[in-house]
Amino acid sequence: MRHSEWHRTHRTGWLRAAVLGANDGIVSTASLVLGVAAAGAATQSVLVAGVAGLVAGAMSMAAGEYVSVSSQADTERADLARERRELAELPEQEHEELVGIYVQRGLDRPLAEQVATQLTAHDALSAHARDELGISDTLAARPVQAALASAATFAAGAALPLLAVLVLPQGALLWGTAASSLVFLAVLGVLAARAGGAPVARSLIRVVSWGALAMGLTAAVGALFDVVA
């Protein structure tokens, strides 16, 4: 009977990107909305500023992820090209290097040599990429995928405070947006904790407290300058 196991670490990559994008979307857009609203702007002006923040933030996230992950991909390609060249020019040294890696991980030398020989015969470059360089298909850099995921999760998070702006009356815009955004952040913190198997209370407090600080400071700036009044 085959024993299958399920681990939460398989979610680490996409969970981090999703939580980061959604959290940034909520916090930055809500903070922008509160800053403009605290300055006395009308609902339409607040909404325009929020939509502009959503578009700018989503594009910024996409561009930042694409550039950073592309740099990672370039480094991976350079390392793989070097490893491919060394395998062609120095196969014995590369084999010994692989044996040494397995010995360090706890295998005795005869078994390490056997494993290295079989893996090299199967796919030498993949074996060295995975065990020497730490590069695998599941962890390889994918710039376009990262950019699209970051933009989408940011936009989804940013849309939530904007929905509050649409439904709230002018008089309740400031406090209503702040309260609803904190609720959105709390829900995000709970979902992230449950998906990652982390303590819910710790995740909730961490997400809400930083979001409240950002929104409070931005609202204070808007109220201080009050450029509309």
Expressed in angstroms, the distance from the first to the final Cα of the chain is: 74
The 10s digit of each residue's pLDDT in 37-47 is: 888 888 888 99
CA–CA distance, 199 with 9 (Å, rounded to integer): 15
pLDDT class for 140, splitting at 50, 70, 90? low
Contacts with 54 (C-beta within 8 Å, 6 or more apart), sequence order: 25, 29, 154, 155, 158, 159, 162
Note the pLDDT of residue 127.
82
Domain coordinates of the chain in residue numbers?
Answer: 15-221
- Which of 17, 61, 16, 30 is CA-nearest to residue 183? 30
What secondary structure letter does DSSP report for 129?
H
pLDDT of residue 6: 43
pLDDT tier at 7, thresholds 50, 70, 90:
very low
Q: Which of 46, 42, 70 is nearest to 161 (CA)?
A: 46
Model-level pTM? 0.71
Task: Name, in order, each residue with C-beta under 8 angstroms of 222's C-beta and a sequence gap of 6 or more.
Answer: 34, 35, 36, 37, 38, 39
Whether the predicted pLDDT of 3 surpasses 60? no
> For residue 2, is pLDDT > 60?
no
Model confidence at 139, pLDDT cuts 50, 70, 90, reads: low
Q: What is d(CA 168, CA 22) in angstroms, rounded to the nearest whole number?
A: 22
Give which of 52, 57, 122, 117 is closest to 91, Cα–Cα. 117
